[in-house]
Every structure is written in C-alpha cells, then in structure tokens.
C-alpha cells in the first residue's frame, strides 16, 4: 500500500544572494539581453530577459517585432499576444507578465511580503487548497504590501490601494497558484498545455481550441521556460492532490484534477530521461451543440437532423474516430438532442461531458463512474449492469473499450436498455469498428447487429499543420445478414465536399429510418419528411446566426434546447411538417427580431 505524500509547503526562495540584492535574479552573461537559439520566436526577434523576479525560477522571452499580433487580450491581468509568423507553421503565444517589469522597489516589497506570508501560514490553512489558502494569503499580503509601500512612497492612498491589489494578486499566483502557467490555465482559448523536458530549455507549447476565431494558428509555442524548481513545485502539488505515487518506480502519473477542470499527465525518469514532462488537457464548462458543428462545417444540416431522429427514436449509435478527432464533442452535442423529459445515465471513467451544464439546463442526468485501471471496486461492467437496473433511461458510455462491450450488447439484444444507447469507440472507419468489436472486444457479429449506426468523425489538418478541422466522414447502417452483418453507407464524403453527403441508401427503406419511425409511432415516409423539415430549420438557424452579434447565443445550448422542444412537438403535427415548420419559424423570427448584425 502506497503512503500519501505530504502536503507541499508554500515557500519563498528570496533569500539574500550576491546577484539578487534588489529582488532580481540575473543571468551571468554580459549585456542587457542575450539571443536565445531555437527560441519560440525563431524567425522573429526574440531575447530572453537577463533578469527575473527572485520569487520565480521560470524565464520569459521578450518578443521584439513590428508585426501586428493576430490577437491581443488580457488574461487575469497578463497581456497575451498571439502571432502567426510568416515563415513558421506554428503560432507564437506571447505573455507579458507585469511582475517581470516591476521596478526594484516593488519587487523587493513583494519578496519581503512573500517571505513573511509563507513563514506565518496558520496550521488550519490547507496549503494545497485554493479555496482556503488563496483568500488568506491575499488578505495578509495586501496588509503587508500596503504597509511597506506606504513607508517607501508618498503616493496618494487611492493609488497605493490599487497597486497593492495588483501586487497581492501576483504574490498569490506564485504561492497558492501556478506561477506563469496560471495564465495558460485560465485562458479559455487554450485547450492543451505541454511542458517538454528539459523544461528550462524548451518553451512551453499550447494548442488553442478549434473554435478560436480569426487567422490564428492552433499550435503555438509560448515564450515561457519553466524552471526546474517551479516544475518540482507543480509535481509536488499534483502528487498531494491525487494521492498517487510519482517516482522512478512509478514514472507516470495520470489524474483528473477537478479543481482545474483538466486532465494532467506527468512523465518522469527513467521513461523521460531528460526530466519531467507534463501534458495538461483542459475541459470546457460549455458544450458544443449540433448547430455549432454545422457552422464549423463538421456535418451537414441533413445529417444533423438524421442524428436527432436517431436520438429521439431510441436508436443505438457508436461514434468512432481517432484520438482527438472529436468523438466526445459529437457525443456531447448528440446528448443535447435528447428531449428534456428523457432521463440519461452517463457512464465514464474520466469526466469529459459537462454534466453540471446539462443539469443547469434542466436535464435529468445521473453519472456513474468507474475505474479504467481496475483499482476500484467499480468496474465498467458493473457500472453498466447497475445502469440497466435504474429504470428506463438513455445510456451514454464515454468509451466502449473493454469487457463491458459484451454486457452492453447482451443487454441491447435482450431489450434491457429500453432507450437510446450512445457511446464512443476508437476506429477510423465503420469496418474498422466492426473488426475491433469482434476481434478485440469479443462481440460476435450477430450481437453487433444490435448497433443501428456507426458515425465516424475524422481529424484533418491543413498541409502546414497550422489548423485542424473535424468532419463527420461516414455514417454506416448495420444490417443483419444471417450470422454476419452488412455495413451499408448512409452518408459518405466526396472529393471537394467538406461534409458527408447522403447516399441512395438513405431512404425510407433504411433499416434505421424504419426503426425510428416505428419507435415514434409514424410511417417511414413521414419520418423522412420530418428529418428534412428539421434540416431546413437547422440550415436557417445557422445562416441567420452568421455575422450576428448574438451568434454564440443562437448556436448555444439553451437556444438549441428551446428550439428542439418546440420542433419535436410541432413537426409531428397531424396537419403535416409544413404547418409545424411555420409555427417554429414564427417563434424563431420573434426570438431573433431584436438582435443586431456585426459590422
């Protein structure tokens, strides 16, 4: 049994040194700056600061260029600029922390306050908890800093209050926070953060979210170099928060950090021979919607409406793709297509779907967690069996990858699932998914026929790798053929077309369309009319939202839910889909009448 590591201590490293008597650490090189070979600004003038505050061990490069940034904003008081150098395929994410530009008087006041704060932390303060440590530290720091600055300056009290607030926040960042990395963690545009070894010689890299607007490149190098001691502090905090070992005997630590809203992976020696490397995958509290995916050219309105029909028509769908292709994104979007009356049971080991947001929208959703590594008493199979005993519910499985597949198909064949079943699985094609289910997961082809459709989503990159695109490339229907199955393409991609287009098999003769119609008590031809009418509404919504100042709201989850609730009722009106569509159009026009277009 491994013992839990001790809590990390909040410490200050501002001890008097020959080279830091004024609160700065200086590089032992002549001149004010030195060029950095292989820097993130290679191809742009970039120099590393010769000085840094004594309370950090990380360095920041100064980017000197006349080029205009593609994006410029502030994140938690730090200026952030994103450049797209013409001769590089990666972007440059440049931070300009105010603490690296403070005058010696302010840095020395900060250093003294930091030393006093960390020396007098009460025993009842949990140093690893931002909810308790950070408010205490900030309050204590403000008192100390105001006292020190007022004794050394004759500035008005109002000016000192504002400056004290800013300096206290900086102090918190380097004690109860994450130092320079805090800007990357708090920037909502950043999806992935990578610290490669050796961290002091390799710039931190980030990947921006695919919905970041403008011509920015998604893969960016930063101008941050994380010092060894700062990296050790991050590792200590992760060990304490997770209670997991991390050493040469256990060189990999993978855990979900709920407070950060991120999944973190640490790799150390001997696996990573040059030191510790870190990968942080951030989750977003929001959920991608089907209209967002349509606007992003990930799928067509007709395909989106067909998936909506499968969801409300209690079909079974597997979403396949490679790592990072967008399987979970599409799964979350399809979950928002459920009517609000549908109870949902979500089974996953790592929280990736924003359950809190769905509950805030009014969904009845229950989460069951299991241990992927088998260290917990709750396995994926047991979680699935429990879900089948919890009443009529749609079952959503974060990823089908083990022995739970047999339980899942057994329950579907016996009719125990009772409603829609959605899940993700690794695979680059419908045939690849079938092979994996049969060869790797032990599911017979006859059992696999309980699957209605396989939806394949792919990740595509521009030739220079600067941006990524996610597209649904294939939707195949699973049809029984004796003891085997036949995969019949309903949608596929064609050269020159960004979205998967319907094939002649997508018709009233489709097994899935017939199944949806039967589940909803209507005829296949009526169901096909409903799907086409729904596609018209999705196309109109996407077109109208383009260029409007409220486009995010129109494409967002709340508006989608309200629109779907109305369409689900009115499109099945006995007077026909045209009557129902007119009713929806009247509501839509009223909802969008007061908004302005962007200039």
Write out pLDDT tens, residues 8-17: 444 334 433 4
Write out pLDDT tens, residues 529-570: 999 999 999 999 999 998 888 888 999 999 999 999 999 999
At residue 129, φ and ψ (nearest 5 deg) are -100, 115
pLDDT of residue 430: 95
Joined together, the tokens standing for residue 511 give 């097994």
Q: Which of 71-85, 108-122, 196-210, 343-357 has the lowest mean pLDDT?
A: 108-122
The answer to the question of residue 364 being in a domain is yes
Question: Average pLDDT of 377-406?
Answer: 75
The answer to the question of residue 433 being in a domain is yes
Question: Collapsing DSSP states into helix, strand and coil, what is residue 133?
Answer: helix
Task: Express the helix, strand and coil content of the chain in percent, nearest 5 each.
Answer: 35, 20, 40
Question: Average pLDDT of 464-492?
Answer: 90
| Total domains, the chain | 1
The answer to the question of residue 544 being in a domain is no
Joined together, the tokens standing for residue 254 give 């993978």
Question: What is the percent of the chain where pLDDT is above 70?
Answer: 83
Provide the residue range defining the domain that includes 480: 290-518
Adjacent-strand bridge partners of 548: 597
User: What value does the mean pLDDT of the chain take?
Assistant: 83
Joined together, the tokens standing for residue 51 give 């000085």
**CA distances (Å), origin 530, targets 90, 110, 527:** 45, 65, 5
The answer to the question of residue 277 being in a domain is no
- Output the pTM of the full model: 0.80
The answer to the question of residue 232 being in a domain is no
- 524, 571 in Cβ contact below 8 A? no
pLDDT of residue 506: 97
pLDDT of residue 157: 62
- 355, 306 in Cβ contact below 8 A? no
pLDDT of residue 562: 96
Write out pLDDT tens, residues 307-336: 999 999 999 999 999 888 889 999 999 999
Distance, CA of 91 to CA of 439 (rounded, Å)? 42
Question: Collapsing DSSP states into helix, strand and coil, what is residue 558?
Answer: helix
The answer to the question of residue 303 being in a domain is yes
Residue 388 pLDDT exceeds 80: no
Write out pLDDT tens, residues 49-103: 456 788 888 989 887 777 788 889 999 889 999 998 877 888 899 999 998 888 8
Distance, CA of 506 to CA of 503 (rounded, Å)? 6
Q: What is the DSSP string of 439-504?
A: IIS---HHHHTT--EEEEEEEEE-TTSS-EEEEEEEEEEEEEETTEEEEEEEEE--TT-SS-EE-T
pLDDT of residue 415: 56
CATH code: domain of residue 411: 3.40.50.300
Please tell me which residue, 411 or 56, carries the higher pLDDT value: 56
Position 163 confidence tier, pLDDT thresholds 50, 70, 90: confident
Cis peptide upstream of residue 566 (ω within 30 degrees of 0): no
Write out pLDDT tens, residues 231-282: 998 998 888 888 889 999 999 999 888 778 888 999 999 999 999 999 999 8
The answer to the question of residue 310 being in a domain is yes
Question: Average pLDDT of 573-587?
Answer: 92
Distance, CA of 204 to CA of 563 (rounded, Å)? 42
Residues in Cβ contact with 532 at an 8 Å cutoff, skipping those fewer than 6 apart: 302, 305, 577
Q: What angle do CA 194, 178, 207 make, to 5 degrees?
A: 25
Going by C-alpha positions, the residue among 348, 345, 319 that lies closest to residue 333 is: 319
Question: What is the percent of the chain where pLDDT is above 90?
Answer: 43
Burial of 166: CB neighbours in 10 Å, binned 0-12, 13-18, 19+: middle
pLDDT of residue 155: 66
Determine the angle formed by the axes of helices 104-119 and 157-173, rounding to 10 degrees: 60
């Amino acid at each position: 049994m491994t013992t839990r590591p001790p809590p990390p201590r909040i410490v200050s490293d501002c001890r008097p040194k020959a080279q830091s008597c004024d609160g700065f650490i200086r590089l032992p090189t002549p001149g004010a700056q030195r060029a950095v070979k292989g820097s993130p600004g290679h191809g742009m003038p970039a120099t590393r600061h010769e000085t840094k505050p004594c309370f950090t061990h990380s360095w920041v490069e100064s980017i000197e260029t006349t080029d205009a940034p593609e994006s410029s904003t502030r994140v938690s008081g730090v200026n952030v600029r994103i450049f797209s150098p013409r001769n590089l395929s990666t972007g440059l994410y440049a931070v300009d922390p105010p603490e690296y530009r403070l005058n010696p008087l302010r840095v020395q006041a900060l250093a003294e306050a930091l030393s006093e704060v960390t020396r007098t932390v009460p025993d009842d303060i949990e140093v690893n908890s931002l909810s308790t440590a950070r408010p205490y530290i900030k309050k204590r720091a403000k008192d100390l800093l105001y006292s020190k600055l007022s004794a050394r300056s004759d500035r008005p009290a109002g000016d000192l209050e504002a400056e004290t607030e800013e300096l206290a926040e900086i102090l918190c960042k380097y004690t109860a926070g994450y130092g320079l990395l805090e800007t990357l963690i708090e920037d909502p545009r950043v999806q992935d953060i990578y610290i490669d070894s050796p961290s002091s010689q390799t710039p931190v890299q980030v990947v921006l979210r695919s919905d970041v607007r403008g011509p920015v490149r998604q893969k960016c190098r930063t101008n941050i170099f994380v010092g060894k001691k700062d990296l050790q502090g991050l590792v200590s905090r992760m060990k304490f928060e997770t209670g997991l070992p991390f050493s040469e005997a256990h060189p990999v630590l993978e855990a979900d950090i709920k407070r950060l809203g991120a999944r973190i992976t640490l790799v150390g020696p001997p696996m990573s021979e040059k030191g510790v490397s870190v990968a942080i995958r951030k989750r977003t509290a929001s959920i991608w919607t089907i209209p967002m995916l349509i606007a992003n050219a990930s799928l067509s309105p007709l395909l989106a409406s067909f998936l909506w029909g499968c969801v409300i028509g209690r079909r079974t769908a597997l979403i396949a793709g490679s790592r990072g292709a967008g399987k979970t994104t599409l799964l979350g979007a399809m979950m928002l297509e459920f009517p609000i009356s549908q109870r949902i049971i979500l089974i996953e080991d790592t929280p990736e779907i924003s359950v809190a947001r769905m509950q805030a929208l009014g969904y009845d959703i229950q989460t069951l967690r299991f241990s992927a590594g088998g260290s917990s008493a709750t396995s994926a199979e047991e979680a699935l069996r429990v879900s089948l005993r919890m009443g009529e519910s749609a079952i959503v499985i974060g990823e089908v990858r083990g022995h739970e597949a047999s339980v899942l198909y057994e329950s579907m064949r016996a009719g125990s699932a009772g409603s829609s079943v959605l899940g993700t699985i690794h695979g680059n094609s419908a045939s690849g998914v079938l092979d994996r289910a049969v060869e790797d997961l032990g599911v017979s082809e006859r059992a696999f026929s309980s699957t209605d459709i396989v939806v394949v989503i792919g990740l595509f990159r521009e030739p220079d790798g600067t941006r990524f695109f996610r597209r649904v490339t294939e939707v195949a229907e699973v049809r029984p053929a004796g003891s085997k199955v036949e995969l019949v393409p309903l949608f596929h991609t064609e050269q020159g077309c960004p979205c998967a287009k319907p094939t002649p098999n997508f018709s009233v003769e489709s097994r899935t369309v017939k199944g949806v119609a039967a589940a909803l008590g209507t005829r296949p031809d009526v169901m096909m009319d409903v799907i086409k009418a729904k596609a018209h509404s999705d196309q109109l919504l996407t077109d109208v939202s383009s260029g409007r100042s409220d486009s995010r709201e129109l494409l967002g989850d709340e508006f989608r839910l309200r629109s779907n609730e109305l369409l689900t009722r009115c499109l099945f009106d006995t007077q026909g889909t045209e009557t129902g569509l007119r009713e929806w159009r009247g509501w839509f026009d009223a909802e969008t009448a007061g908004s302005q277009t962007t200039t």
